[in-house]
Structure 1
Amino acid sequence: MSDFRYSDEERAAIYRVIAERRDMRHFLPDPVDPTALQRLLNAAHHAPSVGLMQPWRFIRITQSALRQQIHALVEQERQQTAHALGEREAEFLRLKVEGILQCGEVIVAALCDGRERYVFGRRTLPEMDLASVSCAIQNIWLAARAEGLGMGWVSIFDPEELARLLNMPEGAKPVAVLCLGHVPAFYAQPMLIEEGWAEAKPLSEMLMEDEWENRNNQEFPNE
């Protein structure tokens, strides 16, 4: 039987980058090397996509004024999210949820328009277009960590307002504001764990066999 495995060192590097990936919020203003940025975008473009539809689109934000406008949209939604959290409002407002004004690069990841014409793999699961974009974003995240760069996925914004701001065509939809750049340090644990916002659940609670297991004794706090 053929052995298609990578070497021990290569496999260890892959598992290490997966384990050490972090959703970063604290950045240094140093610029990102353009060749490294191109490698990250190429990694995104190698993501799997249902029916090979490649629904991802990336908008690199280069204008300072536009960054400020995106930041304002995020801040507006941050306040509304805090209010919706009720008793955790003040706790949430103490969290740093984005680094848009500090990071070296801001990239908006979006779903393309005209997705309705893609049926292969989406007839019963149309959300697979979003799954494909998520895979592309994950590729950037892992490649960035391997390059020593941090990345944060910001989803706190009104997608319709951001689409209008970026002059997106009808049917296109922004999925993420990606903050990318050099960092003072990588978090030892996910930041929300370090800040005491939530605790990660073990894999054993997510794994079932043959059928869905009801686990009514689990607590689901307002997160």
Structure 2
Amino acid sequence: MHDHAYSDPDRAAVHRVIAQRRDMRHFIGGVVDDDVLVRLLTAAHHAPSVGLMQPWRFIRVTDPGLRVAIHGLVEVERERTAEALGERSDEFMRLKVEGVLECAELLVVALGDDRERHVFGRRTMPQMDLASAACAIQNLWLAARAEGLGMGWVSLFEPDDLRRLLGMPAGSEPVAVLCLGPVEEFYDRPMLEETGWVVARPLTDLVSVNGWA
């Protein structure tokens, strides 16, 4: 064991929460205590970011009318996605792809409007701002699972429409609608596997040595 390694139980807990994290769609209402929400957002804010740019912005949606409006944007894109899927359209429409109206908390994660000034690590790969925000979302996701809360990442929306709805400044970009809250149970496997939509690929298919394979 390396000198800086955590104890066996601590390491096991880290790997357990990673393995048991799920993209949740089924929520049972309830609440997320304020102190828990602060812990989750703090975990997100501790995420690594390229050049320490911290491009993430978190918007907590507490207005019921705004939540309904966001659900409307998601529903429009759900129908457009179904149309784009062609022969799998009906199958897709039977999937539950969001929990916007049922979850205890609704968060929107966005890229800030000032991120273009960050050059360190982005000169050849400007998309690293998005990669950094994704790390923050993953931190929040894992922390939520550790708290016994479900979280689902919804990406079915037109970014410009959501940006206007939330009064976000030019140059900013919403990247995720996060449904967060208590769930009756966690899926044993990813929901899209359980419903037969897709089968996850094994790690061995995605690892190679010294070049693409």
Q: How would you bin the TM-score normalised by the shorter chain? A: over 0.9
- Report the secondary structure of 2:16's partner residue: helix
Q: What does residue 99 of structure 2 align with?
A: 99
| Aligned pairs, number | 213
Paired letter, 1:89: S
Verify: 1:200 aligned to 2:200, yes or no: yes
**Local SS of the residue matching 1:108:** strand
Within 2, Cα distance between the matches of 1:116 and 1:187?
A: 39
Amino acid of the residue matched to residue 77 of structure 1?
E
Amino acid at match of 2:82: A
Query: How many angstroms apart in 1 are the aligned matches of 2:58 and 2:153?
Result: 13
Q: Which runs of 5+ in 2 are unaligned?
A: none
Q: Distance in 2 between matches of 1:200 and 1:212?
A: 20
CA–CA separation in structure 2 for the residues paired with 1:58 and 1:18:
23
Match of 2:150 in 1: 150
RMSD: 0.9
TM-score by length of 2: 0.99
Aligned to 2:63: 63
Alignment partner, residue 127 of structure 1: 127
**Structure 2 equivalent of residue 220 of structure 1:** none
Supply the distance in 1 between the matched residues of 2:85 and 2:137 (Cα, whole angstroms). 27
Q: Distance in 2 between matches of 1:35 and 1:28?
A: 20
Q: CA deviation at 1:116?
A: 1.3
SS of 2:123's equivalent? coil
Report the Cα distance in structure 2 between the residues aligned to 1:69 and 1:117, rounded to whole angstroms: 32
Aligned to 2:53: 53
Aligned to 2:38: 38
2:196 partner amino acid: G
Runs of 4+ residues over 2 Å off in structure 1:
none
C-alpha separation in 2, matches of 1:26 and 1:2: 41
Distance 1:37 1:58 in 2: 12
CA distance in 2, matches of 1:168, 1:53: 19
2:15 partner SS: helix
- Which one-letter code corresponds to 2:76 in the other structure? Q
Compared CA separation, residues 207 and 59, structure 1 to 2 (3 A): same
Structure 1 distance, partners of 2:48, 2:14, is: 17
Residue identity opposite 2:120 in structure 1? F
Tell me the distance in 1 between the aligned counterparts of 2:204 and 2:49: 29
CA–CA distance in structure 2, aligned partners of residues 89 and 29 of structure 1: 29
Residue 22 (structure 1) aligns with: 22
How many angstroms does 1:2 deviate by? 6.4
1:203 Cα deviation after fit: 0.4
- Separation in 1, partners of 2:67, 2:18: 29
Q: Equivalent residue of 2:65, what SS?
A: helix
The answer for unaligned runs of 5 or more in structure 1 is: 214-223
For 1:217, the equivalent position in structure 2 comes to: none
| TM score, norm. by length of structure 1 | 0.95
Residue 180 of structure 2 aligns to a residue whose secondary structure is strand
Q: In the alignment, does 2:117 pair up with 1:112? A: no
Distance 1:146 1:2 in 2: 25
Q: CA deviation at 1:114?
A: 1.9
Q: Does 1:8 align with 2:12?
A: no
- Identity, in percent, stands at 66
